[in-house]
Copies of this chain bind each other. A is one copy, B any other.
Amino acid sequence: MTAPSTDNLRVDGDRLWSTLTDTARFGATAKGGLCRLALSEEDAAVRRWFVSACEAAGCSVDVDELGTLFARRPGADPALAPIAIGSHLDTQPTGGRFDGILGVLAGLEIVRVLNDAGVVTRHPIEIIDWTNEEGARFAPAMLASGVFAGAFDADYARSRTDRDGVTFAAALAAIGFAGERPAGDHPLAAHFELHIEQGPVLEDAGTQIGVVIGVQGIRWMDVAVSGLACHAGTTPMALRRDALQGAARLAAAVDAVGRSEPGVSLSTIGIFQAHPGSRNTVPETISMSIDLRHPRAEGLDRMEADVRAAAATIAAELGVEIAIIPVWSSAPVVFAPACVGAVRAAVADLGYSHQDIVSGAGHDSVYISRVAPTGMIFIPCEDGISHNEAENITPAQARAGADVLLRAVLAFDAAP
């Protein structure tokens, strides 16, 4: 590949948009969204279309033991591992038309435009459709990419069941997409994923492209605030040990911790329930959840320490007990500098407004980053709405994202 031949290479935005809208017939819902649960008939239909479209674009298509599809466009150097462009074609039960799908179909568009221009890359290019990213039919989410990266084993994945008791293995066999190739059988030179943001940050800032630098870490905790139930009419304020007031103060402290690094740290209390829940009884106990997020482990450590310090102060002030129990955590992911750099260079070349962003949601790239240099590109989505039939983007946003993806892949391919 030589630089002059690709500097002005752009995707065909109209063709990409047509592909996105045409294939939205597979699992289309009345409200304009998609219901394309993993390994369903609708998923099978889009897979059959995808295989034939990739083969028509000159790719060889392979399928692994978990149904993940790998469509390969050969490269010039047979010793190099492929540069993957991966995401997923499955959706939530009332999902949108772009979550995951954009990342796979942009891969197809890139192969098509490379074909049209007669470009031969050094590395093979692999478009990947990871099976069961959503986790909506078979929990957990990101199942096939998790197996590929060694987070789960394949038998675990095959034994997952949907709500009707159908196993992943049975559903995979039923649609005819169980391959022979073991999951994770080959190295990837890199993994790039174009995705809608699924949040409001880029739209709110009026930014066209998000350069995803990593995935935030998460800590989930259960909190029990215990005081003394007493009569609302006969117990003076000064003699109360009011669990609800303790919890309300802790909620404010958790909010302050979330706001401590604007645009970086996040905190959420999603569950909050008072017991016994009687109008004229001061609550004895509050059950609440805390969700803390930060791109760096030391940030999470600091946030958790601040929450615990606030809890100790509040407990002493109000005479209540506050127990904070960790229930789950996910370590932060920092994407590979080579991939992030390729995305950053691509955006700069193309002149799109851009900003660094940390992914708040899980993606196949989170697991794949364990086994391959990984980068992601975000584009805005309307009102930040996703996992919803109203999920929407514009053709220009899709084209911009795909152009950045194309140039990032080419930049990575060209790097020494």
Q: CA A1 – CA B272 in complex, angstroms?
A: 64
Let me know if B277 and A270 touch, CB within 8 A. yes
Let me know if B286 and A291 touch, CB within 8 A. no
19 contacts between A and B (CB under 8 A): A197-B234, A199-B231, A199-B235, A199-B236, A233-B293, A234-B359, A237-B255, A237-B259, A237-B262, A237-B267, A244-B269, A244-B272, A247-B248, A248-B248, A248-B251, A268-B279, A273-B273, A273-B274, A279-B289
Please classify the interface of chain A as helix (H, G, I), strand (E, B), loop, or mixed, using the class held by over half of its residues.
mixed
Min CB–CB distance A44 → chain B (angstroms): 29
Given contacts A199-B235, A232-B270, A289-B279, contact A251 B258 (CB under 8 A): no
Residue A206 at the B interface, CB < 8 A? Answer: no
Q: CA A361 – CA B244 in complex, angstroms?
A: 22
Min CB–CB distance A381 → chain B (angstroms): 10
Q: CA A361 – CA B280 in complex, angstroms?
A: 10
Contact of A249 among B237, B252, B293, B384 (CB under 8 A): B252
Residue A19 at the B interface, CB < 8 A? Answer: no
Q: Identify which of A247, A255, A263, A265 gathers the most chain B CB atoms within 10 Å of its CB.
A: A255
Contact of A239 among B201, B235, B255 (CB under 8 A): B201
Binary flags per residue of A235-246, CB closer than 8 Å to B gives 1, else 0: 111110010110
Residue A374 at the B interface, CB < 8 A? Answer: no
- Give the interface size bracket for A toward B: 35 or more
Chain B residues, Cβ within 8 Å of A269? 244-245, 274, 283
Let me know if B200 and A239 touch, CB within 8 A. yes
Looking across the interface, which residue of chain B has its beta carbon closest to that of A262?
B238
> Besides the contacts A248-B248, A273-B274, what 19 more A-B pairs have beta carbons closer than 8 Å?
A199-B233, A199-B235, A201-B236, A204-B236, A204-B239, A231-B361, A232-B291, A232-B293, A233-B266, A233-B293, A234-B384, A234-B386, A235-B384, A244-B251, A248-B255, A269-B274, A270-B279, A270-B283, A272-B272
